[in-house]
Structures are given as C-alpha cells and as structure tokens.
Chains A and B, each alone.
Chain A
C-alpha cells in the first residue's frame, strides 16, 4: 500500500522569502516521489522527482526537494518565492511494484507581494 500526506492546506509566504511545502509518504518498497504544480484552470505540470541517488533533487522554476528516508519526507523548497509561484502543489508517490501514483490532497501556496 502507498499513501502520501500533505499536512498543510495552505502555505503563505512573502515574496523573496524561502518557501517549504511539506510532504510525507508511506510505501512498502522503494519510493518514487514526485511534485506537480497546478495553476488556476490548467492541468498539472511535473516539477521534479526522486528515484534514487542524491537526496536533494533540483527541478523546474528553481524548485528543489529533499528526500529524507528516516523521516519519510519529501519537502518541496525554493530559496526565494515569487508571486507567480502561487498555485496548488501536489506531492505524489508510487512504489516500485505499482504504476499508479497516489496523490496528496494538495497544498495551496500563496505568495504575497
């Protein structure tokens, strides 16, 4: 079984400040972890993924995520937030034996000018 939790419905951050969007997961095997972003009235866009190797993964638009096996977390981060980063962010997990990802409930990121 696989599951993912995004504990925050909404994250507010001022433009220029660092941002973190949290994600924890549970899988029976090795996890494949993903972050997607959804802007209003658009489809989901892939940001980055962790498969194996380096715990720090870099992705699109200056985002990065840190894989922490002991804490079963995969938090999304960005050093300096932009107003244009305001969107809905989904964490997703799939284990090696499943080809269907499980999505978290989503976190709405609001970046204030």
Chain B
C-alpha cells in the first residue's frame, strides 16, 4: 500500500470546469512533486515543492496551478484544460530534495478532459 494518497482516483471534466487534485503524505517528507504521465511513457515533471515553497516549475501552462498548504498536502488546481491534458497525474514525495532519497508515488489521478 502506498503512503502517498491521491484523490480523486478518476476525474472527468469539461474544458470550462474548475477542479482540483489532492495529495497527502504523512511520512514527514519535505519535498513533494507533481508529474504528468501519458500511457506507456515516463512521468514528466511539472512542479516541485521543497519545504512548502515552489522550487521548480517546468514551464507548465498556467491552466495548472499548484498549491502546498502545508508540508503534508499538495494540490493541483485545474482550469480551462484541453483534451490533450488527459493523462495520469502522479504525486510523489521524498525525504529531502537532495541526496539519494527515492520518490514515493501515489496511485495517481486519472484525468479525462472532454
């Protein structure tokens, strides 16, 4: 069982909707990540939060807006998405944002944009 919890598991939304993906971890990790993954492809980094501050934003469109309310929670706010944004969105955490720590992934939120 994963120790990173993502909700919802599935989300269908129209291009004009506003929705949010949520992620929670209780391992005391100080780095949290959002990845986007298309079928049978490697995960693509979107955002990294380190000690609750946004440290990396990989030129992701502004229709994706991350938020880190505290060290255990990470949200991804979605607005005016396009059909090509349909993908599996993975949250991950790691003990520190440097060094050899592995990533712990959630099960993902599968997003379909109609």
* Contact of B40 (CB < 8 Å), options: A45, A104, A106: A106
- The verdict on B21 contacting chain A, using a C-beta distance below 8 Å, is no
Residue contact B102 to A34, C-beta cutoff 8 Å: yes
For residue A1, which residues in chain B have a CB less than 8 angstroms away from its CB? none
**Most-contacted residue by chain A among B42, B43, B90, B105 (CB, 10 A):** B42
- The answer to whether A100 and B42 touch (CB under 8 A), given A43-B90, A44-B103, is no
Number of residues in A with C-beta < 8 Å to the partner? 23
Kindly state the interface size class of chain B when it binds its partner. Answer: 20 to 34
Contact with A along B48-91 (1 / 0, CB 8 A): 10100000100000000000000000000000000000000010
Q: Is B32 in the interface zone, CB < 8 Å from A? A: no
Nearest residue (CB) in B for A33 is B100
Contact (Cβ within 8 A) A105 B31: no
Q: Is the CB of B90 within 8 A of A51?
A: no
Contact (Cβ within 8 A) B90 A100: no
Bitwise, A99-113 to B at CB < 8 A (1) or not (0) is: 111011110100000
Which of A's residues lie within 8 Å of B, judged by CB? 32, 34, 36, 41-46, 49, 51, 88, 90, 94, 96, 99-101, 103-106, 108
Residues of B participating in the A interface, judged by any CB pair closer than 8 Å: 2, 4, 6, 31, 40-43, 45, 48, 50, 56, 90, 92, 94, 96-100, 102-108, 110
